[in-house]
Amino acid sequence: MVLKVYSDNGHFDRVSEAFDYMKSNGIEIDERTCTVHLLALKRADKVQMSLDFLYRMVGIESNMKVSEYSLSVVVDGFCRIGEIKRSRELVEEMIDKGTKPNVVTFNIMLNACAKRWSFGEMDLVMLLMTKEGVGFNTNTYKILIDGFTSSSRVKEAQSLVEEMHDKGLKVEPHLCNLIISSFCRVGCTESACLLFDEMAERNVSQNADTYSAIICGLAKNGEMGKAMEYVREMQDKGIELDGVMFNTLIDGFCEKGMIRKAYDLQLVMEMRGLSADVSVTNKIAIGLCKLNQVTEAKKLLNLMVKRSATTELASFSSLVNIQNEEEGFMNVEAKVYR
């Protein structure tokens, strides 16, 4: 009780003094109370103090059995400040002292490794897991897949999904979506499509985010025909294009020089109450001018003026002016620079 009172009031030095007094006088100390104190130290960013207190708990004169939860609290504190190697060394040290880490302890370290792309350290943590006979749980797989896909180690991420299937673990669509996006990001669109198809075969739901990943990924790689096939498939399932997909498709058509298709898709987008990004609208307008389709370009220009998108208009208004000297259009141009 004394330890908790001191800890709750931020008197951390007094906690250590009281702990030493109780230990030297043979007074029993509740390990759970110590864990609560470790949590308080972590919240206060007192990482070194939490380590010192943990050492007190496992000292020679202490008969306390330190739980894996207390260890995890201190490990988490070190990982939060980027001291991943030190946290692993602490785990190894505590194993020798009789405290066995659990999967939560390892997941804390793996998550820190994934966020910082410390893959060398991640390998060492996983080796230690194997040595201690601690298996992956679903959260472990999520952490690793997220880390691998964010660093384009997509093949390793895909292998982990296969491993989850083999173990009968539930694979959430989110994990496959990450891998599909990562495949597309590195130009492996065929692998992305294969994984998309495999999701249905393995009864993993293909949701709106899944379609967004494959459609946007294909569009960014210039595979517009294939992207539109997935659009039609998605719409057959009652899922509609959102603003991100519309803009990515429009941009993809522009990059391929398919300006008319981009323009038509932009009109559909507007009819559904969505606004195209100024950058893609700008590309369409420039393309229309080059094709001498000035009437359509004027419509886009008027639309952008209504949105007060004047800065971006400067890049193509001169092109439109060259194509058409009509008074009506000059009035629109005047609004842009007024």
Q: Rounded CA gap, 191 and 224, in Å? A: 17
Residue position matching structure tokens 């300006």: 259
pLDDT of residue 175: 96
Q: Rounded CA gap, 259 and 90, in Å? A: 60
For the chain, 338 residues long, give each residue's pLDDT as a single digit of tens.
667 666 766 767 887 777 777 777 777 778 888 888 898 889 999 999 999 989 888 874 556 788 999 999 999 999 999 999 999 999 999 999 889 999 999 999 999 999 998 999 999 999 999 999 999 999 999 999 999 999 889 999 999 999 999 999 999 999 999 999 999 999 999 999 999 999 999 999 999 999 999 999 999 999 999 999 999 999 999 999 999 999 999 999 999 999 999 999 998 998 898 888 888 888 888 888 888 887 887 777 777 777 655 444 444 554 445 454 444 444 444 444 34
Q: Is 272 part of a structural domain of the chain?
A: no
**Cβ atoms of 6 and 18 closer than 8 Å:** yes
Q: Rounded CA gap, 75 and 56, in Å? A: 16
Q: What is the CATH number of the domain that holds 174?
A: 1.25.40.10
Q: Is 228 part of a structural domain of the chain?
A: yes
Produce one character per residue of 223-254: b if its CB has 16 or more CB atoms within 10 Å, e if not: bbebbbebbeebeeeebebeeebbbbbbbbbb
Q: Is 94 part of a structural domain of the chain?
A: no
Range of the domain at 171: 150-238
Query: Three-state SS for 201?
Result: helix
Q: Rounded CA gap, 146 and 161, in Å? A: 11
pLDDT of residue 2: 66
Query: Three-state SS for 256?
Result: coil
Produce one character per residue of 281-294: b if its CB has 16 or more CB atoms within 10 Å, e if not: bbbbbbbbbeeebb
Question: What is the value of pTM for the model shown?
Answer: 0.81
8-state DSSP, 59: S
Q: Is 203 part of a structural domain of the chain?
A: yes
In the chain, the number of structural domains is: 1
Q: Rounded CA gap, 287 and 244, in Å? A: 21
Q: Which two structure tokens, joined as six digits, stand for 175?
A: 């994990």
pLDDT of residue 296: 81
